[in-house]
Amino acid sequence: MLALGRAWETALSGDNTFGCWGGKLMISFLFVKVTHSPEGMETLRYFLFDVCGVNAGWKMEDVMDEEIEVINNTVAPDDHVICALSGGVDSTVAATLVHKAIGDRLHCVFVDNGLLRYKERERVMETFDRDLHLPVTCVDASEQFLSKLKGVVDPEMKRKIIGKEFICIFDAFAHELEQKLGKKPAFLVQGTLYPDVIESCPPPGSGRTHSHTIKSHHNVGGLPKDMKLKLIEPLKLLFKDEVRQLGRILKVPEPFLKRHPFPGPGLAVRVLGDVTEGNALDIVRLVDEIFIQSIKDAGIYDSIWQAFAVFLPVKSVGVQGDQRTHSYVVTLRAVTSQDGMTADW
């Protein structure tokens, strides 16, 4: 910015930031919405409340009521709905919200794709049954997923394959329900969040031609075009911290809400290279469990946004038990964040 025009004033400036305003028009050369921007939230609050006069009456209870109304207006009284449960915060809150709206017409399915965390299947099914009282069917599709991933090393391709296989499972589950209920479910519930939409490929007609694909989420950019089920995504305009607020209102147990984010494609994107080669999955699964348990034992789990292990397909020399070893490398990473859009080590 070389100079301001008439009737314009500097609102904020710094080495890498600049903002100006004139009347009720404000121009900012920084991402005021992210936590790394100096005075970003203060600038946004000033523009919304002082310049635009926006009413700060937004409440999460209103979001819940609005989404329940949308769900009831979308799903006919005799329609049945499938929910894809991963065991994570997002899909669990989405399922609880939809269950509150339509009750027993919701049918949840948890898929063991062979890419889960250590003992995840047992832990999740126990929590759903004991604490959430959600109707859940568990499908073991480990061999199906791993056979499709054999030889695949590109993470984007992994995501697309996993997204397609999930839909195949859900279609088969819908067919089974049709035999039982006499009517095939028409909708699929997903715990898609706003960051998932931002990071995935912009939808056709969105006008976001300038946006780059950061990564295709299996529930957004990884969905096949010929999918027969219509989507219900009640959380798609919310961020992770807002989903946790909604979960508390819906009485989802606090320990469940505090779980760290886990990628939809699972350990497939925590293993660099072919996930079916050697014992890569077993190694990263066990290391991840030890890492997470160590963080919990240290009392710092809740202060960390996400912690995880990544398997590298390279070997390095080390010492174990006073002996030389030559084995695979696993890296550990832990970050803090508020909304999942920016992070610090």
Tokens of 295: 């963080």
Closest CA to 317 of 309, 308, 304, 328: 328
Q: For residues 342 and 335, give the distance between their C-alpha atoms in angstroms, rounded to a whole number.
A: 10
The CATH classification number of 266-335 equals: 3.30.300.10
Q: Is 273 or 223 the better-scoring residue by pLDDT?
A: 273
Q: For residues 282 and 287, give the distance between their C-alpha atoms in angstroms, rounded to a whole number.
A: 9
Q: For residues 176 and 184, give the distance between their C-alpha atoms in angstroms, rounded to a whole number.
A: 8
**For residues 237-257, average pLDDT:** 93
Q: For residues 151 and 166, give the distance between their C-alpha atoms in angstroms, rounded to a whole number.
A: 19
> pLDDT tens digits, residue range 41-80?
777 777 778 777 888 778 999 999 999 999 999 999 999 9
Known binding site: residues? 86-92
Q: Report pTM.
A: 0.79
For domain 60-257, the question of CATH label 3.50.50.60 is answered with no
pLDDT at 146 exceeding the cut of 60: yes
Q: Give the pLDDT score at 20.
A: 47
Closest CA to 108 of 96, 122, 126: 96
Q: Which of 110-114, 166-170, 177-181, 198-202 bottoms out in mean pLDDT, i.e. has the lowest?
A: 198-202
* Percent of the chain with pLDDT strictly greater than 90: 60
Residue ranges matching CATH 3.40.50.620 in the chain: 60-257
Residue ranges matching CATH 3.30.300.10 in the chain: 266-335
Q: How many residues does the chain have?
A: 345
Buried-exposed string 31-67: b where 16+ CB fall within 10 A, e elsewhere = ebeeeebebbeebeebbeeeeeeeeeeeebeebbeeb
Q: How confident is the model at residue 118 (pLDDT cuts 50, 70, 90)?
A: very high
Strands 187-189 and 230-232 come out as parallel
Known binding site for ATP: residues? 86-92
Secondary structure, 3-state, the chain: CCCCCCCCEEEEECCCCEEEEECCEEEECCCCCCCCCCCHHHHHHHHHHHHCCCCCCCCHHHHHHHHHHHHHHHCCCCCCEEEEECCCHHHHHHHHHHHHHHHHHEEEEEEECCCCCCCHHHHHHHHHHHHHCCCEEEEECHHHHHHHHCCCCCHHHHHHHHHHHHHHHHHHHHHHHHHHHCCCCCEEECCCCHHHHHHCCCCCCCCCCCCCCCCCCCCCCCCCCCCCCEEECCCCCCCHHHHHHHHHHCCCCHHHHCCCCCCCCHHHHCECCCCCCCCHHHHHHHHHHHHHHHHHHCCCHHHCCEEEEEEEEEEEEEEECCEEEEEEEEEEEEEECCCCCCCEC
**For residues 318-336, average pLDDT:** 92
Phi, psi of 124 (to 5 degrees): -65, -45
Q: For residues 143 and 149, give the distance between their C-alpha atoms in angstroms, rounded to a whole number.
A: 10
Q: For residues 57 and 278, give the distance between their C-alpha atoms in angstroms, rounded to a whole number.
A: 55
Q: For residues 218 and 269, give the distance between their C-alpha atoms in angstroms, rounded to a whole number.
A: 11
Q: For residues 197 and 189, give the distance between their C-alpha atoms in angstroms, rounded to a whole number.
A: 15
Q: What is the mean pLDDT of the chain?
A: 84
Q: Which residues contact 86 (CB under 8 A, 6 or more apart)?
A: 110, 191, 262, 264
Q: Give the pLDDT score at 329.
A: 95
